[in-house]
Structure 1
Amino acid sequence: MDWLHDFDEELRLVFKDCSIIISGFPEPIRAQGLSYLEQFNVFSTGSHKNYICYLLPFWLRDGYGLTDAEVRQLSVGNVFCMLYFFIQDDLIDSSEDSAARKLPLANLLYVEFLNRYRPLFPSDSLFWLCFNRYILEWADSMAGEAHGDYFLNDRLKISHKASPLKLTSTAVLLYSGNASLITEAEDVLHTILLTLQMLDDYEDWEQDLAGGSYNCLLSLVCCHFNTQREALTKTQVKDYIYTTGGLAEYAETALSNHRKLEHCQLNAPHLISFHQMMVKNLQHMAAAIEAEKQLLQHGGLSYWLSKHINL
């Protein structure tokens, strides 16, 4: 079972569908939209790989009896939803006045997202009540991030930054007659989205430190040194990661997240496998740092040989 490559061909069709739809936008929004889509195309070199956004409908398909056409429609909708909210994130994070350029595209993407979901659910469906709640969660989380230390005080709000993603699981469960599992699916996604943010924050900590963006790992470092974020230095972060074994603690939190999923009722083995991959990545990075420290403790020659000689 491969959570990614099992769906290669289907994903290619999803991005092709999105490209065709955006090609119908008026210029210059058409060119802007195609360029933005390419930044997230999983098959493009150097693109942002937001796998869960594209693949969640496919990961739920077999467990809940959806057809290929239904899943493809949901996945296309997800891509448009993802692009819309990433533009919102860009505008929130940017100090530049780029709203006039980005908002026309964002609104066309939002309409295309709705065009995929509205035919599936009547106006009085529970889906739209959940929709309202997820958008409220997203807005509340984004508005409070600058002054709320979510990783230490309220980790659920870290997951709420991606609350619109829950539209997919809710749609699948309602459409397949499994509404009783919606809360379970939300809890599973909260756990997975937290680990995903933790992994992203480890990879982006230098950029976030320089730019002032909130970061789970940096929050942990501030707590360790009992210092304010504004006073945190790159040296302190590296000391926490490479000297005090802080990344091992960080990886342990991710492993604890995975244990919460071991007995979940949601029938989505690919989704659980995706989370396990993220946990293992953090564990491997932490273990590699500890192994390097052990080599250094055995002396510089052993360390040099391990780096340069293939024994």
Structure 2
Amino acid sequence: MYHPYFRGKQFELITIREMATLLAEKNFVPVIEPVREALGGLSKTLTAVCAAGGRAIVIVNPYHGDHQDDGTSITSLLQEGFDGSDNIAAGILLRSDMSVDDVMACYDHHAHHHPVLVHAGFTEPKALAARLEDGMTELMNVFVEDHAKLLYRKHFDQSTRILVRDGFKRQRNADYPPLEEFSDLHVTYGDLGMAGFGDFLTVGDVYSEGGGPAYAVAIHLTFIDPDKDDVMYIHHFVSTTKDTPTDPAGKFAQALAKLIAKLESGSSHILETDAIKEFRGLHAKGHFPGLGYIKKLSMKHHIETLAYYLG
């Protein structure tokens, strides 16, 4: 059903580990693109997913990060640590620089790990679909919407299809509006002929190695509005101070105060998730846990919100 797409940085992996039980209960299947050379955190995360009885898709040929030129160590991790596991699938990222032969070679190499095709820029869908025809009904195809429009996706309509939409419009923290639409895909994916949907959570598809000093601190929180056909929106709570790279703790306190005020207004539609309880606790203690931790809470809240909505 829901397939959140994570880049495998530290706090993304921690989010998956901490949410492993909920992800498994709801049959949510994270897609993980490993971007860090060290794979210990990824191994711990996949072990946690398996222990919870959940599933995950691991990109074996990442486009971003330390493995973009060579994903053999990821393949080795799957073969050595998760061989024979039905819980972990090998995701093959289809980009514009790949030919049909390239895709099929990678597909065949990972045949024993339930390969999933993740379409993100590939340009030969008709030829690839013809090569895969005999096994199409057994195959899962994940489409990143910006790179795989309707006609592209039609070539794979005999397979299990998942549509991933980037609802997060990445900007400088100081430039975010207080509120904007995120996505309606959780409502409409079935009407689009999809078996499930995904997104890039509250991080977005734009990849960066790490930010510089934070001139502003922003807390991004999604909510579903029952008064607007259950469309998902996102609040951006941005610090009042935006003109200096110093005092991230003070800026977090400003952004958090705006969040708490919205919650107390009674009109926020923000679900009282475990992540929100943590934000309330941080406000009560006046504690700044670090920017990575804030991002983790935002992602956890997003997953909890969709888990509640989808029942």
Greater relative CO, 1 or 2 (CA 8 Å, sep 6+): 1
TM-score bracket, shorter-length normalisation: 0.3 to 0.5
Which of 1 and 2 has greater Rg? 1
- Normalized per residue, the structure richer in strand is 2
TM-score, normalised to structure 2, is 0.35
In terms of fraction of residues, the more helix-rich structure is 1
